[in-house]
Structure formats: C-alpha cells, structure tokens
Amino acid sequence: MLGNFSYCNPTKLYFGKDAIQGLNEELPKYGKNVLLVYGGGSIKKNGIYDRVVEILKANGKIIAEDAGVMPNPTIEKVYEGCERAKKCNADLILAVGGGSVCDYAKAVSVSVYCKEDPWEKYYIRFEEPDNKIIPVGCVLTMVGTGSEMNGGSVITNFSQKLKIGKVFGEEVFPKFSVLDPEYTFTLPKYQMVSGFFDIMSHLLEQYFSGTDDNTSDYIIEGLLRSLIHSAQIAVNNPLDYEARSNIMWTATWALNTLVAKGKDTDWEVHMLGQAVSAHTDATHGMTLAAVSLPYYRFILPYGLSKFKRYALNVWDVDGTGKTDEEIAEEGLKAMKAWMRKIGLVMNLRDLGVKEEMIDGLVKSTLVMTGGYKVLTAEDIRNIFKASL
C-alpha cells in the first residue's frame, strides 16, 4: 500500500538532439552574471564548452568560470566556488558536466550566502538553507546520478574521511537541465559503465525495501529491464543513439524522486560505497559495484520475497521446481554475470582497498534504517571483507 505523500519536481528538461537550444529559452529569465562550472576540461576537447559559451554570449551574459570540479567534489572546492560566485555576483550557476559537477553547483548555490560553515550546517547537521540560494541550471555530459532533476548534493571531506550526500528540498533542484544523449558519446568506457551501475544502484536502493504491493516497484522493474538491455548495446557500440538516449532517460527517472514516493528506501549500498570513496577517491559507481553483491547476499534472507520477485521479474529466472532461496540466489548470479559482461569492478582490492583499511571504512559508513536489516558495525565489517 502506498503511503501518503506530496510530489513536486520543478526542474524543466530539454531532451534530445540539439537540446542545448533550450538555453536560449532559459537564460533570459536570469540576470547577466553567470558562473560557468565544469570539470577537468573534456568539454573543451569535444566542443561542448564552445557551444555553451557561444549561447551565453549571444544572450548577453557576463561569464565567470569555475573549472576543475573533481569526480568526488571536496568541501574545499565548495569554499573556493563560493568565493568565485561572490566575486562575480552570480545570478545563475550553470553546471556543464556529469553528476559531480551538478552536485557541486548545488552545494555552492546554497553555501555562497550561508552565514556559517556549510559543511557543518548541511552535511553534518543536515539542516535546510535559510539564506539566499543562487539558481542552478545543468548541461549534462555523463549519466548516472540523476542530479540533473533532484536536490541531491554529495560532497567529500577527505580530512574527516567522510563522503556525505545531502538531499535538499525542491528550491535547490536545478531550474532547468539540458539532456542531449550525443553529449555522452565521448565518455571513456570506465566512466560510462560506472554511470550505468550508479543508475542500477539508485533503482535497487529504492526497490529492496518494504513488503507491500505498490506501483513504484513495478515502475522500477521496468526501468531496470530497460537499463540492462540498453547497457549491453551501449558497451558494444557507445554511439548507439537509441541505447544511450534510453539510458539517459532511465537515469533521470531513477532518481528524480518519483519512484521513492509512497514507500521505504534503503541507501545502505551508497553509504558503504561513499565510505570507500572517502578513503580512496575511487569512482563512485565502481565503489557501488564492488560492495553491492556482498551486501545483497547478506540481507537476502531478511527480504527473501522481494529478492525472489527481482529474480523472476527483472532477470527472467525460471522458478520451476526451485525453492524461494534458489530463485533469489539465481537472480543475484544473473546480476553478477551482467556486471562482469559490461566491465564493472567487482571487488574493493581493484579500487585500492586493503584489509587493514576496513576498520576505518566501518567508522566512515553511515547506518541507514530503511532496508531489510539495520546493520551493526560487525555486519558492515563482514560486508567489506566479503567485498575484497
């Protein structure tokens, strides 16, 4: 049974080939000063930067730049971004890049006029902004996080060995996002498949919770089947527009808050993976891939009926003559085979984790309460060991 909820998603999307033209409709709504945020410079090599700047100038904007956003944006970088935004008196922050760039832009947007340390306020105490928020727009170049249509913002504090996601309210959602699947074509395979698993993990985090019959789980199953199918095509041919567009759209729906409405959600896999990133700076989607199967095998007995359903409805496991446990385990085996096929990292050692690091990882892992079992410190330790 679906629980009571209210739903609003204020982000306007422009999707498809040449969706960048949507900027011409959106930019006149904001003042003249734009802080252009991006990562390591790949957008300059593939021509996206030139196209964005051309449109900004055609709309009479004064551009200030904030480059060098890293894959796991740090709080120090957020402080730097705040200074840049203040200096140019930004009326709009335009994020051009993947989810990390979008996350970072949102963190800066709520922090520029924050009267205290934004790390303490937002990421330790999880408070809401009570100050001016600079609007954010996104031009997406990598799919995975869904950050283009939600209020999530994950920031890393390496000195504290913490990587924490804050989910802000709808006032922090991007005002608009541009999604052109062709902008993802030049992404290296490692980053591409990492994003694919981030999408899958978002869906599974929301799926593996609750025992009721609700519409959200049926939607999630359909999104998972689409992702599984299209990802295999994209790995073989990264320029397949149909596959890449389906994946881009699935990524947005996986975490634009819709399928979470009316049901519990887990998010413990993300807490485990984010702890790994806080210690190693490893790519987010790969940390999730390395810990997912050990985690799901651990909690399977506590959510057996859902794992059986997952095997039957998502992986088309033939349940004839098999026990519920056998069906559920076969589903996880099918998932493992697919993960290997598309080229995901399957263990933490390949991400630089050593056994002597596990105690630190346990301390850095936040414990969630929405899944089938609330983990103890010993549970977390055993899952990390199994992930090696």
pTM strictly above 0.85: yes
Residue 278 lies in a domain: yes
Same domain as 205, residue 150: no
Pick the last residue of a domain from 167, 183, 199. 183
Can you say how many angstroms the Cα of residue 149 is from the centroid of all Cα atoms in its chain?
A: 11
Number of domains in the chain: 2
Pick the last residue of a domain from 133, 167, 183. 183
Same domain as 363, residue 338: yes
DSSP state of 113: T
- Token output for 191: 């980053």
Length of the chain: 388
Residue 5 lies in a domain: no
Same domain as 130, residue 30: yes
DSSP-assigned letters across all residues of 340-360: HHHT---SGGGGT--GGGHHH
Same domain as 383, residue 278: yes
Same domain as 154, residue 195: no
Rounded Cα–Cα distance for residues 82 and 90 (Å): 10
Rounded Cα–Cα distance for residues 315 and 304 (Å): 16
Same domain as 282, residue 250: yes
Report the sign of the C-alpha dihedral through residues 60, 61, 67, 72, in that order: negative
Same domain as 109, residue 71: yes
| CATH of residue 142 | 3.40.50.1970
Kindly give the interhelix angle for 304-313 and 215-236, rounded to the nearest 10 degrees.
50
Same domain as 163, residue 55: yes
* Contact assessment for residue 122 and residue 81, using Cβ atoms and an 8 Å cutoff: no
| CATH of residue 317 | 1.20.1090.10
Rounded Cα–Cα distance for residues 181 and 251 (Å): 12
Residues in the chain, pLDDT under 70: 1
Residue 2 lies in a domain: no
Can you say how many angstroms the Cα of residue 282 is from the centroid of all Cα atoms in its chain?
A: 14
Same domain as 374, residue 247: yes
Residue 4 lies in a domain: no
Tokens 């190693």 identify what position? 280
Residue 351 lies in a domain: yes
- Token output for 42: 């790949």
Same domain as 382, residue 239: yes
Q: Please count the other Cβ atoms lying within 10 Å of the Cβ belonging to residue 2.
A: 12
Same domain as 77, residue 55: yes
Q: What is the pLDDT of residue 2?
A: 76
- Residue 159 lies in domain: 12-183
Same domain as 147, residue 81: yes
Which residues share a beta bridge with 179? 15, 140
Residue 22 lies in a domain: yes
Considering all CA atoms of the chain, what is the largest pairwise distance in Å, rounded to the nearest integer? 68
Rounded Cα–Cα distance for residues 153 and 50 (Å): 27
Kindly give the interhelix angle for 215-236 and 324-342, rounded to the nearest 10 degrees.
40
Residue 171 lies in a domain: yes
| Pairing assessment for the beta strands 162-167 and 152-157 based on DSSP bridges | antiparallel
Q: Please count the other Cβ atoms lying within 10 Å of the Cβ belonging to residue 1.
A: 8
Q: What is the pLDDT of residue 40?
A: 86
Kindly give the interhelix angle for 324-342 and 284-299, rounded to the nearest 10 degrees.
170
Pick the last residue of a domain from 183, 214, 238. 183
Q: What is the pLDDT of residue 3?
A: 80
Residue 380 lies in a domain: yes
